[in-house]
Structure 1
């Protein structure tokens, strides 16, 4: 179980996260919903320990370590002159056949330099690298941005695969329908706190909210 207790982040005279509390069970896909500036990325960076915070974050009752997390950021950085194949060579995987299947479906030009990829292709490449890390906690920050229709459905399959492996998945998206399709629960982040957690049977209530 991933437990976030009283997490507080303060930037430039502003509380971005304000004593935030959240518990996520293994095998749970949690959607994170909030307006721009609500603190979604700050929460992800706190989990990934790339931003200072106060409070406590634990995994299976022990302090969370960065190496337990795969983090797909909204914008992914690649060295200018690296091919997709060279990028993936940096990762090792216990699930080569499974990754190979997703790569075939993504149909990426792995011999080409990544700088010539579209934004959607870069997202797919970064996602493949993330999967190869095979971590118990997986954070996806706006993974559907720039991804074509086919890629969205492959993403659905990937997220379901992570769930079947009993992993924790936290995903944010401005496209609320993508969260409806994938999530077990959706947490509403507002004023630096988790305002409410919606279960599947309550997702319809979210249609009335504006983001």
Structure 2
């Protein structure tokens, strides 16, 4: 289980996270919903150990380590003169998971330089690299941004596959319908805290939610 207790983050004397509490079981897909500036990315950066924070983040009764987390950021940086094939070779060194099936599904031009990829193609490439790491905790920050219709449905399948492998998956998206399609629960982040957690049967209430 992933447990976040009284998580607080402060930047320049301003509280961004004000005591976040959240508990997630393996095989659970949770969406994080909040307006711009609510602290979603700060929460994800804290889980990935990019931020200084107070409170605790634990995984299976011990402190969560960065080595247990895969993180797909909203914007991904690539060296311009690296091919898709070369990029994924770095991930293959860490884990013996073949990404060829995914590159074929996404129809990526693996021999081309990444600088010639569209934003959606770059997103797909970064996602494949993340999946090749095969971590128990997976964070997807706006994974559907820039991805075409076919890619969205492949993403749905990938997220369901992660669930079947008993992994924790945390997703943010400004397209609420994508959260409805993928999540078991949706947590609303408001005023630096989890305001409420909605179960699947309550998702319809989110259509009328005002921030």
> What TM-score, normalized to structure 2?
0.97
2:111 equivalent to 1:108: no
SS in 1 for 2:152: helix
Q: What does residue 164 of structure 2 align with? A: 164
Structure 1 pair 156/87, CA: closer, same or farther in 2 (3 Å)?
same
Q: What does residue 29 of structure 1 align with? A: 29
Cα deviations by residue, 1:158-184 (Å, 9 ceiling, x for unpaired): 000000000000000000000000000
**CA distance in structure 2 between the aligned counterparts of 1:135 and 1:111, rounded to whole angstroms:** 27
Given that 1:187 and 1:197 are in contact with CA atoms closer than 8 Å, whether structure 2 keeps it comes out as yes
Cα deviations by residue, 1:18-74 (Å, 9 ceiling, x for unpaired): 011100100000000000000000000000000110110000000010000000000
Q: CA deviation at 1:146?
A: 0.4
Structure 1 pair 132/178, CA: closer, same or farther in 2 (3 Å)?
same
2:30 equivalent to 1:52: no
2:183 equivalent to 1:183: yes
Alignment map for 1:1-211 (pairs within 5 Å): 1-92=1-92, 93-96=95-98, 99-210=99-210
Unmatched 5+ stretches in structure 1? none
Structure 1 pair 58/83, CA: closer, same or farther in 2 (3 Å)?
same
Q: CA RMSD in A?
A: 0.9
Aligned residues: 209
Unmatched 5+ stretches in structure 2? none
Q: CA deviation at 1:95?
A: 3.2
Q: CA deviation at 1:112?
A: 0.4
**CA distance in structure 1 between the aligned counterparts of 2:30 and 2:199, rounded to whole angstroms:** 10
**CA distance in structure 2 between the aligned counterparts of 1:210 and 1:160, rounded to whole angstroms:** 29
**CA distance in structure 1 between the aligned counterparts of 2:101 and 2:209, rounded to whole angstroms:** 38
Q: CA deviation at 1:209?
A: 2.0
